[in-house]
Amino acid sequence: MASATGSRHPKLATDGAATDGVAPAPRRPRRFRRRLRTRIILSFLLLGTGLTALFAFLTDYARQRVENQLVEDVMNRNIDEYARRYALDPSRSPDLPVQQIRAFVFPAERFDRVRQEYPEWAQLPNGNHTITDIGPDGEPFPYKLAVRKTPDTWFFLAYDMSQAARGEAQLKRALFASILLFSALSLLIGWWSASRVMRPVTELAARLRAYRGSSQPKKLASHFPEDEVGQLAEALDDYSTRLTEVVQRDREFNADVSHELRTPLAVIKGAVELLLSRPDLDERTRARLQRIQRAEQQCSDLIGSLLLLSRNERGQGQSDVAKVAEQLLDSHRAQLGGKPLELRLEGGPGMVIDAPEAALSVALGNLVGNAVKYTPAGEVVVRLVPGAAQVVDTGPGLSEEDAARLFQRGYRGTHAGHSQGAGIGLSIVGRLCDLYGWDVSVHPRQDGQSGVVATLSFAGARPIAEA
């Protein structure tokens, strides 16, 4: 059997904390994507938070630059003025024009004392330096130190930066609070904007769902303004019109084909029944007429099943699985033509399913037909088990390629060779299973023999005694 296994069924508060993206959720078997409304809200939130954080960072950076430049300009002017006044009268300590500044002057004879009492100052070159010491209260005490060293005198100006540091901390807290505030505001604006933007889209989706099952859906474009959603509604109306025309043509074609094929089949059936009623027929002619009769019945069943598939409708009726299986085996026995193959039915009591015999005959008949076609010798057994029918053969088995592509329309197995067939039989079986809620699976035999086991499981199968 040419088949395979298958189944159907203490830094700045702005340092990146507010702009981190949400970690993606784990992917589901069906790829999960955020709703468009959520993406719009997230876009507003990230944009508002990012711009606010950037503004806060630039504000703090500019404040630091301006403050440092102003302080250093003040210190440079004061230390130069201090040095000038000291040069005019070294015995008199000149007054400083700026508060928060302490001046220190050391002549050459006191350089060694500076190196002992202020070793860090002694090593500093000329210029302005930022230093942080520990104050009497144990808290950090930041200050700026202006250094001017000459061979005869060292001048130092210390500027208290503790008040500026407190102001900086307050500014940072205010900036962080502004980031939180504007992030919340961006979230609210994003939620409001997403609601306004998505409202017509949601309405369009609701109207589409309301038209489900309607053979003549109403026009959508008249309910929406001439914007992007209106253009989408017009495109959907056009697509719906063209799709309705295609479906209508398909239904008319199926009805026409069904009628035109059933007419000659009815003529063939009547002629065969009339010929079989003649008592003077020899056995050879009778066997041929019976073969024609079975072929006519198979064609009728196939036409009926395909017509139901094209309409996606379930046929009404009940079927005895054992009876249909025996009819299929009898039909194939008459076509063996001397092939060394035994066909038999095994299993317990029969069962009844809620499906017409035509559908069951097509589904089970394709499995039996494949087994008979691709089994050169041995046996093909239809085994009835609770809720299912198994077709077991002694054919060449499966290949990996068959396992991957078995139920694809048009695919023929690796053992098909030059045999006739279009490769749509198992595709039809799969579609019938989808229509009636059945399940079909094909796998290698597990008893050590070559061959394949095809299992057709029925939904709602029950023993004949309960039917």
Residue 154 in contact with residue 105, Cβ under 8 Å?
yes
pLDDT at site 10: 32
- By CB atoms closer than 10 A (0-12, 13-18, 19+), residue 313 is exposed
Q: Looking at the predicted structure, is the pLDDT value of residue 451 above 90?
A: no
Q: What is the mean pLDDT of the chain?
A: 78
pLDDT single digits (tens) 79-121: 887 787 777 777 765 555 445 677 788 888 888 888 888 888 8
Residue 377 in contact with residue 340, Cβ under 8 Å?
yes
- Lowest-pLDDT choice from 147-161, 314-328, 409-423: 409-423
Separation of alpha carbons 110 and 113, rounded Å:
5
pLDDT single digits (tens) 341-372: 999 998 876 789 988 888 888 888 888 888 88
- Reported pTM: 0.49
pLDDT-derived band of residue 391, with 50, 70 and 90 as boundaries? very high
H or E element in which residue 147 lies? strand 140-149
pLDDT at site 17: 36
pLDDT at site 319: 87
Q: Looking at the predicted structure, is the pLDDT value of residue 418 above 50?
A: no
pLDDT-derived band of residue 181, with 50, 70 and 90 as boundaries? very high
pLDDT single digits (tens) 4-29: 444 443 333 333 333 333 344 444 44
Alpha-helix residue ranges (DSSP H) falling in 35-161: 36-88, 111-117, 119-123
Residue 126 in contact with residue 149, Cβ under 8 Å?
yes
Cα 298 to the chain's mean position, in Å?
43
Q: Looking at the predicted structure, is the pLDDT value of residue 307 above 80?
A: no
Q: Looking at the predicted structure, is the pLDDT value of residue 142 above 80?
A: yes
Backbone angles phi, psi at 246, to 5 degrees: -65, -45
Across 434-454, average pLDDT: 86
pLDDT at site 184: 92
Q: How many CB atoms lie within 10 A of CB 33?
A: 9
Across 158-181, average pLDDT: 86
Across 270-286, average pLDDT: 84
Higher local confidence (pLDDT), 264 or 56: 56
Nearest to 153 by CA among 71, 234, 85: 85
Nearest to 71 by CA among 137, 128, 26: 128
pLDDT at site 32: 42
How does strand 127-134 pair with strand 439-444?
unpaired
pLDDT at site 19: 36
Domains and CATH numbers, the chain: 10-20+34-210 (no CATH), 218-313 (1.10.287.130), 316-414+421-467 (3.30.565.10)
| List of residues 6+ apart from 290 with CB closer than 8 A | 276, 334
- Lowest-pLDDT choice from 51-55, 98-102, 178-182, 297-301: 98-102
